[in-house]
């Protein structure tokens, strides 16, 4: 099946995570991390840095961006698998601000709005927040129902984003 490579960046600080409320496009009206498509002639890491800046105004250096996961998403009726490379960083420059696409907001870890996020987030977010690296697969019916999933902790994570 054809793949589309995407990025997702979650900025953290002690006991908080920065999420963005998606105002338009795929995943609109949900809270999510910041990210998007990897452009031609762009590495996965470069795309993550660019998307974070475009969607939140924050700047992160390549050395401060840690890849923590890869999740493949499949949607019934759509032949393209979304391969999402998940990153975190606690070191960044700037203050988040609203952009055309996202409204950023800090959430206390106990107040993460899972009921207003993708259904898979409540399954892998705890791994990310506890410092574990993971690989996952989710099969969705529409945008709200998970039909099948697999989620594995990875001890020796192969950082594909450096390629």
Q: Kindly list the distances between the CA atom of residue 136 and the CA atoms of 21, 54, 71, 72, 86, in Å, as whole numbers in the listed order.
A: 23, 26, 4, 6, 11
In terms of Cβ atoms closer than 10 Å to its own Cβ (0-12, 13-18, 19+), residue 106 is middle
The owner of tokens 């009726």 is: 77
Tens digit of pLDDT at every position of the chain (163 positions)? 789 999 999 999 999 999 999 999 888 999 999 999 999 999 999 999 999 999 999 999 999 999 999 999 999 999 999 999 999 999 999 999 999 999 999 999 999 999 999 999 999 999 999 999 999 999 999 999 999 999 999 976 554 444 3
Q: Which two tokens stand for residue 162?
A: 């450096």
Q: How many Å is the Cα radius of gyration of the chain?
A: 15
For Cα atoms 120, 124, 126, give the angle at the middle one, nearest 5 degrees.
Answer: 130
Return d(Cα 140, Cα 67) in angstroms, integer.
24
Tell me the whole-structure pTM to 2 decimals: 0.94
Helices (H) and strands (E) in the chain — how many of each?
Answer: 2, 8
């Amino acid at each position: 099946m054809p793949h589309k490579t995407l990025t997702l960046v979650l900025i953290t600080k002690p006991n908080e995570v920065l999420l963005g409320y998606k105002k338009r496009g795929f995943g609109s009206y949900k809270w999510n991390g910041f990210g998007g498509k990897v452009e031609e002639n762009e590495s996965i890491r470069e795309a993550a840095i660019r998307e974070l800046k475009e969607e939140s105004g924050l700047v992160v250096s390549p050395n401060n961006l840690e890849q923590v996961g890869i999740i493949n998403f499949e949607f019934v009726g759509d032949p393209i698998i979304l391969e999402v490379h998940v990153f975190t960083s606690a070191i960044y420059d700037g203050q988040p601000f609203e952009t055309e696409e996202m409204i950023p907001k800090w959430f206390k870890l106990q107040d993460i709005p899972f009921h207003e996020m993708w259904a898979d987030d409540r399954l892998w977010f705890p791994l990310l927040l506890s410092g574990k690296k993971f690989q996952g697969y989710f099969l969705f019916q529409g945008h709200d129902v998970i039909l099948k999933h697999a989620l594995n902790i990875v001890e020796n994570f192969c950082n594909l984003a450096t390629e």
